[in-house]
Amino acid sequence: MACNSFLKTSRVTQKRTLTYLSLVASLLVSIFILFSACEAPHHETPESFTPTTALARLVEGNQRFLQGKSRHPHQTHQRILETQDHQRPFAVVVTCSDSRVSPEIIFDEGLGDLFVIRTAGNLMSDLELGSIEYAVEHLGASLVVVLGHTECGAVKAFLDGGKTCGHITQIVEALANEQEEQQVLRYEGKDLRACIEGNILHGVTQLEHDEPILVEQIRQGKLGVTPMLYDIHTGRVLVLKESELRKKHHSLSN
Ligand SMILES: [Zn+2]
C-alpha cells in the first residue's frame, strides 16, 4: 500500500512538473514571438534613402494602411530610447492641419520617421520653409512631399470668397495670391479639385525655388520634391506627376 501510494504521489509530481515545464516553454515562445513582432521593422539608416526609395516607402505604408495591414512601426518604448538623442527622419511631409490627414497614420510610420509641417491649406511661409531646410540639411531627409487633400476647408474658404476675420483672412489671401490659383480660376473657374491641385503645385514651386539650401540639394540629386493628394473619402494617397499637373492647370511657374 505504502509503495503504491509512493508511486501515485511520484506520478502526480511528475505530471505537475511536466505541466509546469510546458507552461514555461509556452511563455518563452510567446515572449519570443512578441519581441520578434515588435522589432521586425526595418534597419535602414537614413543615409541609405534616396528620393526614390523614400517615396517607395511612403507609398508602401499607405498601401498597408489602405489594406488594413498597418504595422504601426516605431511606436514602442524602445523606439523612444533609440531616438532620445537624435532624429533622422527620411522624409518631410508638408500637409494641411485638417484632423483627418495624419501623416504617421496614413503612411504607417512612427516616431522619428517623418518630419511633419502642418498648416491650414498646407501653406508655407518663411518659418515653414526654414523648418524644411533644417530637416533636409541637418537631419538628412531625402524627400519633401507636398500633400494636399480632397475637401480642403482652407481652399473652400478661398473659393467661397465670403467674409473672413482674424488671421484666417491671411490664409485666404495667401491662396488668392498664388499664381497657380489665379491660373486655375482663369482657365477652369471655381473648381475645388483644380484649386486644391493648383495649391499643391504652388507648394512644389516654392520648394523648388528655395535658395540656397533646397535648390542645391535638388540639383545634386539628394532631394526629391513630390506632389501628393490624400483622398479623405478613401484613405488613399495619390502620387501626382508635377509635369502633368502643370500642363493641366496652365501653371507658368516652372
Ligand atoms: Zn485642408
- Sequence ranges of the domains in the chain: 1-38, 46-248
Count the alpha carbons within 13 Å of 5 in the hemisphere toward its beta carbon: 2
Cα–ligand 1 centroid distance for 151 (angstroms) = 7
CA distances from 127 to 16, 86, 193, 238 (A): 68, 22, 27, 27
More confident residue, 18 or 174: 174
Summarize the confidence of residues 212-216 as an average pLDDT: 98
Q: What is the pLDDT of residues 71-122, one digit of tens each?
A: 999 999 999 999 999 999 999 999 999 999 999 999 999 999 999 999 999 9
pLDDT 10s digits, 150-191: 999 999 999 999 889 999 999 999 999 999 999 999 999 999
CA of 170 to the centre of ligand 1 (A): 15
CA of 232 from ligand 1 middle (Å) equals 10
Contact between 158 and 231 (Cβ < 8 Å)? no
* pLDDT at res. 193: 98
Residue scoring higher pLDDT (215 or 252): 215
Residue 162 or 131, more confident: 131
Burial class (CB in 10 A: 0-12, 13-18, 19+), 12: exposed
Cell of 172: 485666404
Mean pLDDT value across residues 236-252: 93
Distance 205 CA to ligand 1 centre (A): 19
CA of 144 to the centre of ligand 1 (A): 18
The span from the CA of 231 to the CA of 229, in Å, is 6
Residue 19 burial (10 A CB sphere; 0-12, 13-18, 19+): exposed
Distance 43 CA to ligand 1 centre (A): 34
96 C-alpha to ligand 1 centroid (Å): 5
Of 170 and 21, more confident: 170
Give tens-digit pLDDT for 186-205.
999 999 999 999 999 999 99
pLDDT at residue 48, as a whole number? 86
Which fold would CATH assign to domain 46-248?
Answer: Beta-carbonic Anhydrase; Chain A (3.40.1050)
